[in-house]
């Protein structure tokens, strides 16, 4: 492991490159231990992270807002209080659909371009109580709708492994921030794969917890029955630490579960002997890039060598998951986004002569094309005459998707699949064909429909040096087993130590 430098990083003066061979910040665990034992000050860590952001962000567009003064002020407080919390002095980046008191929160939409929230999301309060330092807000697809971060009103983020390629999405900016060393931990939200897929495409770890494991209070809603917040990090260990901070009931979110919070870090024993992993081989037969398939089967061999038992399983309704997801998610989105009406907050268009005209102009000018597309689709599937054929039917198929997993978990402890069927495509490549982009969610949407936890772990690079990840899906509230498997895999591999060059 690369040691933390205690003085200025080599690259702090350079504004032109983002050469990460000199990256000074590695894992949250190292930073926290160094800060808690006063080997380095939180202010020094914060300054290093800000220097990295200054040098890399102009090219990669990971951050929309850098909370420089607030971060330094917090760092001084951490040093003064000799904070020893689980994330003492650890920089964190927040996806810009997580509200932050006093820091502009846009959801990457023109609609909320100047929105300054009057309160903090529960996850923000929990991170700060654990000593974490909020560095700023990261770019995403508008209202988290997309898988490439190209749907941001503020321009796409770029993959640090190759800036001509997408970083994935919708939590693309958060993935880039971690992958490029701007921040060791970032939060994303995941409605259909938006934490796991960008994590895979940027070569980092991404955890979507069980629905209800983490409070959604202060998350700008997209599809409320599917949305979940979770951490992105360089290691399973860091993700485990972050989840211990984030998880638990919340008086501001009645859907946040009372289920006891497990000892996620304690579960990282390295030992996965006897753990049964279900592999749905049938799902891999078509449409999976060769390099993804090879890396995935390579990862299975390592997991087997470490003592896991591989079992073939079937998920008979998996082929219907994408169609089901795009009906349910757009229906919920069309309802959730009705609140953007130009009255109480956000953008209002000029020239509306009456209230209805003002609504229509505001929403037409404030929303980007993908958001309009999904509102239209959601409105259609909920409208009279189509509700039963689309929305009700999709809710029934959702039950069947969920039952497939319940059946699988009678014989296996986790299901393992690639996270994304392909590596990162080029920016602009799929912009004309929304359906082709939706089909890339084939391995991730089921976990949201069934409410299950999912973890993406880096497992290789394509010949063109673009990252690939595999995904573990677990029983409800069994994040500990997923993290245990991911951590065990990391002990035999070094993908997580690689930096883009």
Partner 1 sequence: MPERLTRADVDRIATLARLELTEAEKNLFVHQLSHVLEYAEQIQTVDTTGVPPTSHVLSHMPADRPDEQRHGLTNAEALANAPDPAPQAGLFRVPKVL
User: Minimum CB separation from partner 1 for residue 133, in Å?
Assistant: 25
User: Minimum CB separation from partner 1 for residue 425, in Å?
Assistant: 19
d(CA 402, CA 399): 5
The answer to whether 153 and 106 have CB atoms below 8 angstroms apart is: yes
Coil/strand/helix, residue 469: strand
Active-site residue identified among 108, 194, 244, 423: 194
Which of 249, 238, 252 lies closest to 205, judged by CA? 238
Of 176 and 381, the one with the shorter C-beta distance to partner 1 is 381
User: Minimum CB separation from partner 1 for residue 472, in Å?
Assistant: 18
User: Minimum CB separation from partner 1 for residue 251, in Å?
Assistant: 5
- Pairing relation of β-strands 185-190 and 205-208? unpaired
Does 12 qualify as catalytic in the annotation?
A: no
Active-site residue identified among 95, 137, 208, 430: 95
308: tokens are 């896991």
Does 497 qualify as catalytic in the annotation?
A: no
Of 209 and 467, the one with the shorter C-beta distance to partner 1 is 209
> How far apart, in Å, are the Cα atoms of 321 and each of 145, 444, 446, 489?
17, 9, 6, 28
Question: CB-based burial of residue 1 (10 Å sphere; 0-12 exposed, 13-18 middle, 19+ buried)?
Answer: exposed
User: Minimum CB separation from partner 1 for residue 436, in Å?
Assistant: 10
User: Minimum CB separation from partner 1 for residue 482, in Å?
Assistant: 17
Of 153 and 233, the one with the shorter C-beta distance to partner 1 is 153
Of 314 and 360, the one with the shorter C-beta distance to partner 1 is 360
Does 148 qualify as catalytic in the annotation?
A: no
DSSP 8-state symbol, 64: E
User: Minimum CB separation from partner 1 for residue 157, in Å?
Assistant: 24
- How many of the other CB atoms lie within 10 Å of CB of 293? 15
The continuous run of DSSP H or E covering 309 comes out as: strand 309-312
- How many of the other CB atoms lie within 10 Å of CB of 484? 25
User: Minimum CB separation from partner 1 for residue 104, in Å?
Assistant: 10
Of 373 and 497, the one with the shorter C-beta distance to partner 1 is 373
Of 69 and 251, the one with the shorter C-beta distance to partner 1 is 251
d(CA 106, CA 108): 5
Of 165 and 430, the one with the shorter C-beta distance to partner 1 is 430
Helices 369-382 and 321-336: angle between axes, nearest 10 degrees: 100
- How many of the other CB atoms lie within 10 Å of CB of 360? 14
User: Minimum CB separation from partner 1 for residue 236, in Å?
Assistant: 24
Using only C-alpha atoms, the chain has a radius of gyration, in whole angstroms, of 21
The answer to whether 27 and 235 have CB atoms below 8 angstroms apart is: yes
CA 176 to chain centre: 11
Of 18 and 359, the one with the shorter C-beta distance to partner 1 is 359
CA 468 to chain centre: 15
Residues 6+ away with beta carbon under 8 Å from 91: 25, 31, 45, 46, 49, 71, 132, 133, 135, 182, 183, 184, 185
- Pairing relation of β-strands 276-279 and 414-418? parallel
User: Minimum CB separation from partner 1 for residue 343, in Å?
Assistant: 5
Of 167 and 248, the one with the shorter C-beta distance to partner 1 is 248
Which of 456, 425, 462, 439 lies closest to 150, judged by CA? 425
Of 259 and 309, the one with the shorter C-beta distance to partner 1 is 259
Residues 6+ away with beta carbon under 8 Å from 197: 147, 168, 169, 206, 419, 420, 440, 441, 444, 456
d(CA 200, CA 181): 16
Residues 6+ away with beta carbon under 8 Å from 388: none
d(CA 495, CA 238): 15
The answer to whether 22 and 9 have CB atoms below 8 angstroms apart is: yes
Active-site residue identified among 55, 157, 170, 180: 170
351: tokens are 């020239």
Query: Which residues belong to the active site?
Result: 95, 170, 194
């Amino acid at each position: 492991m690369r040691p933390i430098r205690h003085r200025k990083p080599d690259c702090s003066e350079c504004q032109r490159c983002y050469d990460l061979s000199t990256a000074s910040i590695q894992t949250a665990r190292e930073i926290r231990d160094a800060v808690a034992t006063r080997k380095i000050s939180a202010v020094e860590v914060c300054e290093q992270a800000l220097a990295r952001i200054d040098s890399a962000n102009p090219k990669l567009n990971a951050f929309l807002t850098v909370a420089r003064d607030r971060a330094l002020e917090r760092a001084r407080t951490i040093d003064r209080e000799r904070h020893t919390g689980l994330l003492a002095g650890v920089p964190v980046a927040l996806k810009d659909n997580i509200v932050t008191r006093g820091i502009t929160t846009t959801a990457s939409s023109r609609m909320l371009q100047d929105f300054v929230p009057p309160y903090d999301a529960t996850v923000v309060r929990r991170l700060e109580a654990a000593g974490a330092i909020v560095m700023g807000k990261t770019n995403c697809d508008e209202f988290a709708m997309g898988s490439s971060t190209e749907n941001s009103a503020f321009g796409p983020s770029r993959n640090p492994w190759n800036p001509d390629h997408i970083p994935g999405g919708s939590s693309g900016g958060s993935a880039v921030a971690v992958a490029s060393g701007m921040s060791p931990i970032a939060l994303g939200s995941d409605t259909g794969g938006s934490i796991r897929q960008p994590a895979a495409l940027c070569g980092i770890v991404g955890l979507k917890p069980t629905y209800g494991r983490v409070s959604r209070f202060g998350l700008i809603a997209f599809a409320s029955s599917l949305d979940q917040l979770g951490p992105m990090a360089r290691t399973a260990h860091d993700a485990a630490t972050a989840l211990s901070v984030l998880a638990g009931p919340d008086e501001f979110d009645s859907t946040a579960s009372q289920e006891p919070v497990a000892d996620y870090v304690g579960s990282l024993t390295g030992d996965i002997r006897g753990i049964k992993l279900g592999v749905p081989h049938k799902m891999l037969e078509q449409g999976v890039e060769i390099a993804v398939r090879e890396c995935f089967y390579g990862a299975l061999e390592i997991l087997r060598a470490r003592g896991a038992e591989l079992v073939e399983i079937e998920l008979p309704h998996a082929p219907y998951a994408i169609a089901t997801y795009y009906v349910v998610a757009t229906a919920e989105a069309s309802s959730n986004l009705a609140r953007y009406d130009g009255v109480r907050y956000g953008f209002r268009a000029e020239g509306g002569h009456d209230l209805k005209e003002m609504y229509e102009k505001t929403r037409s000018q404030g929303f980007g094309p993908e958001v309009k597309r999904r509102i239209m689709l959601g409105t259609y599937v909920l409208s009279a005459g189509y509700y039963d054929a689309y929305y009700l039917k999709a809710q029934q198929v959702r039950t069947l998707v969920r039952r497939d997993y319940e059946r699988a978990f009678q014989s296996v402890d986790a299901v393992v699949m690639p996270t994304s069927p392909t590596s990162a495509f080029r920016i602009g490549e799929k912009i004309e064909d929304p359906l082709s982009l939706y089909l890339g969610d084939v391995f991730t949407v089921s976990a949201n429909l069934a409410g299950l936890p999912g973890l993406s772990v880096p497992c290789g690079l394509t010949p063109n040096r673009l990252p690939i990840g595999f995904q573990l899906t677990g029983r409800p509230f069994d994040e500990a087993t997923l993290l245990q498997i991911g951590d065990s895999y990391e002990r035999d591999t070094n993908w997580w130590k690689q930096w883009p060059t």
